[in-house]
Structure 1
Amino acid sequence: MDRVKDLASKKAAVIFTKSSCCMCHSIEALFRELGASPAIHELDRDASGRDMERALQRLGCQPSVPAIFIGGKFVGSSKDIISLHVEGSLKQKLIDAGAIWL
């Protein structure tokens, strides 16, 4: 859990993914379209990936990826991010966290 929290706090937008996850790629593309450059941590390519995946599940990530942090805070999974985007508040969250500069 400490490694997840540490990585999540190092950049304004952080996405924990798996390289084979299509929703992970979609969320990453959405962030880039909005002007953010998130830190991407692929759990299936990290030696501590399984431990981090278990920690994300303990945070309530079901499925475990994508798990998105904005401003060091856990925001949710792909459905949460899509909901924020549809209601129009995702971009402002990214701006407030310093992930997007105007």
Structure 2
Amino acid sequence: MIYKRPISIEKLNPGTEEWETYLPLLHANINKKKPDNEYLNAGALQSQAEKVFRIRYNPALKAIDGNTQLYRIVYDNRHYNIVDYDDFEERHKEVRLLGVT
């Protein structure tokens, strides 16, 4: 697996309610989960992009498991809310994060 796309992960500071850098430079393999979803919100057509970010395991990533709402991915100047964390069979080889804009 080639991890060549630079990403960072931010964490929400509950005291200030501001996003702070948690892991500043990771490299990921990135794929679309499925075609971008379009939905109607307040009379306007909205688009929702889902991407799967595959990252080499890092012990600091474990904090995301069960707390996905406190973390987000920054990739290509876009923010992706993390909605799923997967350390397949807890092998600690690769983590898959599902990000949604």
TM-score bracket for the superposition, by shorter chain length: under 0.3
Say which structure is richer in helix.
1
Q: Higher RCO, 1 or 2 (CA under 8 Å, sep at least 6)?
A: 1
Q: Which has the higher strand share?
A: 2
TM superposition score normalised by structure 1: 0.24
The structure that has the greater radius of gyration is 2
